[in-house]
Amino acid sequence: MTNRSEAGWNFDNSYAWLPKTFYSSLNPTPVSKPKLIIFNEKLAESLGLNGRNLQSEEGTEIFAGNRLPDGAVPLAQAYAGHQFGHFAMLGDGRAILLGEQITPDGKRVDIQLKGSGRTPYSRGGDGRAALGPMLREYIISESMQALGIPTTRSLAVVTTGEDIIRETLLPGAVLTRTASSHLRVATFQYAANWGTDEDVRTLADYTINRHYPDIEENENRYLSLLEEVIKRQASLIAKWQLVGFIHGVMNTDNMAISGETIDYGPCAFMDTYDPATVFSSIDRQGRYAYGNQPYIGGWNLARFAETLLPLLHEDEKKAIGIAEDALAGYNEQFQSYWLAGMRAKLGLLNEEKEDETLIADLFKMMHAYQADYTNTFRALTFEDYEDTALFGSKEFTQWHEQWQARRGKQEKSNELSHQVMQSSNPAVIPRNHRVEEALKAAVEEGDFSVMEKLLQVLAKPFAHTPDQEEYCELPEPSKTPYRTFCGT
């Protein structure tokens, strides 16, 4: 009996057919005492995997990297990119791609182990990951999925039975991550810097075939590729902004060509609205602050465009002109996705000239009165205003009148407007204090029930049911700001 027939593995390994420079073949490093901590049954089902079969000793061995599923061709991917603006050779230093699962509906999904041991790209690192950060990635990526934001997903977390050394000893873990691919801006940068123009072309053709088959016949398909990636990033980052998500480390290795959110390290959701919000302990300049994310998206896309120059036109000057024209569209696209999302958040179903001012005025007040981002929109949705500085202010009363007058200008019913608001304004986001509480119980006490309950609530962010109420509450005021750390 094979894994394939029992567990549902159905691998193809197209990435392994790329030139050898793009990866290193190797197996995950086995661990001593793997234990399955959490398994995503719904995701498994959508991948065509047999959840019952995989929640077994055999499945645990697979998710730990001790045993290979049938058809896997394990490899670490090479990439090189800008970290905080500085270029470096990177690559999967603690991850192994097992292969691409072909799902029952014909999708191709990467199955990757994260924390699976050293690789040729590990540099000084141990190739391992700690339980806390892997559970954190699980919680936040699954919450993003429920919020309707493109993202990599989390299939399973196992503990390894081995401690890893960070500032203290921490329990080691392996996360099984799925993604529509792990192609990154940094994969292209690697090809452009260490490969030939032919390597870049091969990678671009592979990417088009895998993610953008509709543009294959276009006159300048490489320009189309650039335009498509710009469009998806503009849409993705607009979605982040609309829910107050801060990625925290938007290096070019953490920007996926597919337009999925990838690499959940020091990310976190903003409570109090402030464009300058930064959680990551290493982001001292605020490069990746909430309000800077759209700009950094454009910066990363410019790095992507540079790698495509030889493919865009044989005359370099002309190629630069083509790339610049495409990049010029990014800001406008971001703005239009964002504005459409903001209109929905305010229940505005048509477009009026005054909308941008109305929105800007709201943000000005939210900033001045230190309003909670998520709860402000929730209060507007239900017209249920707590006694906060914002809602008690004269400015808000005036703004509210303008908003109601504006809503009155649309032909569609108030009920529809309210429905759109409900499905655009989540009640529950993974608030930092809730995530920390769940991780603390899991890591320090081996109690996973807090996390499981949190995951259940996060799976229905737009339900607005009374049982979710406690998850909407704000943290106790704290003297020290919330800080996040890279998951290394």
Chain residues binding Mg ion by CB under 5 A are 253-254, 263
Binding site for ligand AMP (CB under 6 A): 90-94, 121-122, 125-128, 249, 253-254, 263, 265, 486, 488
Say if residue 127 carries a ligand binding annotation: yes
Residue 253 is among the residues annotated as catalytic for this protein: yes
Q: Residue type for 457, please?
A: V
**Residue 148 beta carbon to ligand AMP: minimum distance, rounded to whole angstroms:** 24
- Report the C-alpha gap between 362 and 369 in whole angstroms: 11
Of 215 and 486, the one with the shorter C-beta distance to ligand AMP is 486
Of 94 and 182, the one with the shorter C-beta distance to ligand AMP is 94
**Residue 137 beta carbon to Mg ion: minimum distance, rounded to whole angstroms:** 11
Say if residue 263 carries a ligand binding annotation: yes
**Residue 184 beta carbon to ligand AMP: minimum distance, rounded to whole angstroms:** 10
**Residue 98 beta carbon to Mg ion: minimum distance, rounded to whole angstroms:** 18
- Report the C-alpha gap between 350 and 337 in whole angstroms: 14
Residues 6+ positions from 182 with CB-CB distance below 8 Å: 77, 97, 110, 112, 256, 262
Contact partner at residue 90 from ligand AMP, Mg ion, none, CB < 5 to 8 Å by partner kind:
ligand AMP
Say if residue 205 carries a ligand binding annotation: no
The residue sitting closest to Mg ion, measured at its beta carbon, is 263
State the maximum Cα–Cα separation within the chain, in Å, rounded to a whole number. Answer: 72
Contact partner at residue 371 from ligand AMP, Mg ion, none, CB < 5 to 8 Å by partner kind:
none
Of 122 and 331, the one with the shorter C-beta distance to ligand AMP is 122
- Report the C-alpha gap between 175 and 95 in whole angstroms: 9
Contact partner at residue 455 from ligand AMP, Mg ion, none, CB < 5 to 8 Å by partner kind:
none
CA dihedral 357, 358, 361, 362 (to 10 degrees): -150
Of 96 and 358, the one with the shorter C-beta distance to ligand AMP is 96
Contact partner at residue 91 from ligand AMP, Mg ion, none, CB < 5 to 8 Å by partner kind:
ligand AMP
Closest C-alpha to 402, from 363, 361, 364, 433: 361
**Residue 403 beta carbon to ligand AMP: minimum distance, rounded to whole angstroms:** 41
Which position has the token pair 């962010």? 461
Of 76 and 309, the one with the shorter C-beta distance to Mg ion is 76
In order of 199, 307, 416, the CA distances from 194 in angstroms are 9, 11, 54
Residue 94, both tokens: 């603690």
Say if residue 265 carries a ligand binding annotation: no
Contact partner at residue 128 from ligand AMP, Mg ion, none, CB < 5 to 8 Å by partner kind:
ligand AMP
Contact partner at residue 171 from Mg ion, ligand AMP, none, CB < 5 to 8 Å by partner kind:
none
User: Please, are residues 235 and 256 in contact by the beta-carbon 8 Å criterion?
Assistant: no
Terminal C-alpha separation, the chain: 38
The residue sitting closest to ligand AMP, measured at its beta carbon, is 125
Say if residue 177 carries a ligand binding annotation: yes
- Among candidate residues 92, 110, 253, 372, the one labeled active-site is 253
**Residue 366 beta carbon to ligand AMP: minimum distance, rounded to whole angstroms:** 31
**Residue 304 beta carbon to Mg ion: minimum distance, rounded to whole angstroms:** 15
Of 249 and 420, the one with the shorter C-beta distance to Mg ion is 249
**Residue 486 beta carbon to ligand AMP: minimum distance, rounded to whole angstroms:** 5
- Report the C-alpha gap between 299 and 347 in whole angstroms: 32
Of 140 and 366, the one with the shorter C-beta distance to Mg ion is 140
Neighbours of 165 (CB within 10 A): 11
Contact partner at residue 275 from ligand AMP, Mg ion, none, CB < 5 to 8 Å by partner kind:
none
In order of 93, 132, 255, 291, 431, the CA distances from 486 in angstroms are 14, 11, 16, 20, 18
Contact partner at residue 486 from Mg ion, ligand AMP, none, CB < 5 to 8 Å by partner kind:
ligand AMP
CA dihedral 169, 437, 432, 174 (to 10 degrees): 40
Say if residue 184 carries a ligand binding annotation: yes
Say if residue 70 carries a ligand binding annotation: no
Of 242 and 289, the one with the shorter C-beta distance to ligand AMP is 289
Feature table: binding site for ATP: 91, 93-94, 114, 126-127, 177, 184, 263
Active site residues: 253
Feature table: binding site for Mg(2+): 254, 263
Feature table: binding site: 91, 93-94, 114, 126-127, 177, 184, 254, 263
